[in-house]
Amino acid sequence: MSNFDYDLFVIGGGSGGVRAARVAAGETGAKVALAEEDRYGGTCVIRGCVPKKLMVFASGYPGMVEEGRAYGWDISLGGFNWDDFHGKLAAELDRLEGIYRKLLAGSGVETFDARARLVDAHTVELSTGERKTAKHILLAMGGRVSVPDVPGIEHAITSNEIFHLPQLPKSILIVGGGYIASEFAGVMNGLGVKTTQFYRGAQILRGFDDEARGLVAEEMMQRGVDLHLGTNVERMEKVEGGIKVTATNGSEQVFEQVMYATGRAPNTDDMGLEEVGVKLGRKGEVLVDDYSQTSVPSIYAVGDVTDRVNLTPVAIREGMAFVDTVFRGKPTPVDHDLIASAIFTQPEMGTVGLSEEDAAAQEPIEVYATSFKPMQSSFAGKSDRVLMKLIVSKATRKVLGCHIVAPGAGEMIQLAGIAVKMGATKEDFDRTVAVHPVMAEELVTLRSPIRET
């Protein structure tokens, strides 16, 4: 008999924590408990990918109607009813949270709707005052929005609040250049809100392929987003009609809403981590080894709280690898190599592997790329452009990176990701017969490199 209350205590009810708890309890017979102080489902389900993607869908219909007219349909666009949409959105999130709770209960996981902090290597204290002991503790608290210390920052909202606005603003300033800021710029613009985006850097989507992010920025501006690069907020003040924003270039403008999406931080504050010996990094992230184990052997961590690759499917994979390692006796390191991802900007971007810049810094490469007007929008007289790009190693002929900017890029990159992960060469792509007429056929018909380094 164990002298602990549980075999595993999970702190955090997001994607990584829930998956680890469910699988450990349901498939290995471990006695598992989980504590969550907020809503179950975590960032992704409650205030991230799921509601965001639904808003992306909602914002795409004006473009479809316009295109439909060019295809001979007699259709006109009425007004967008935020109340209708928002009510359905809230109901959908409630439904998903219910599913998460049911899955945990069905697997035999005991849940506590409370905040948990560490007392020692095997003990947690709940905000209810109870103490629980466990042989293993899994930290899965995720991350939170972090905002800079700018005068008037209290007048701004973040991506948490954007889903719960009482009504749509007429104008909005979005501050930031990462994928969250850029996605919401597209969403708000599509919903008919006059949208301005400030980013202090030289180009949005830092870290992604230069050519791909350049096209995304260009197309966003074509579609009506007022993008200002090399620009930041100096101060904000509440005035009649909204928030007066003074920019670093001295310009002043009033916006009905200002949304900050300038970064996220791991949720490690006031958790008792350092007191029990769990080492943290510079940004407060939990430091772990290849098996997600912290500096305290009984304590592991997965997901955004470790600030490795902050994506939902990665947190789930890390949770599964943790269960294999600890409860199945199969030590499984987490594979963070060649993870495909999609950015739901408008246009959408899909990417896997190295950018041209990163690949060129490592070894001699060939770049195969094409940019063109897709058939659907070209027929409708629109100037939208898409990009298909492969980065190839000269030495091994392996495809080191694939970058797509196009409608449906996320769906395409999932499948291209399999080939790249398997180590496909350019010749493997070439041997694949094209599917015609689709945009993605360009990936297998790129004959000669456009440049070499």
What are the residue numbers of the active site? 436
Under 8 Å between Cβ of 150 and 176 = no
**What are φ and ψ of residue 393, in 5° steps?**
-70, 130
Q: For residue 235, which amino acid is it?
A: R
Pairwise CA distance, residues 182 & 187, whole Å:
9
Chain-centroid distance of CA 409 in Å reads: 15
**Which residues are paired to 158 by β-bridges?**
260
**Beta carbons within 10 angstroms of residue 332's beta carbon:** 18
Beta pairing, strands 157-158 & 143-145: unpaired
Using alpha carbons, select from 293, 266, 224 the residue that is nearest to residue 43: 266
Stated length of the chain: 453
Q: In whole angstroms, how large is the CA radius of gyration of the chain?
A: 24
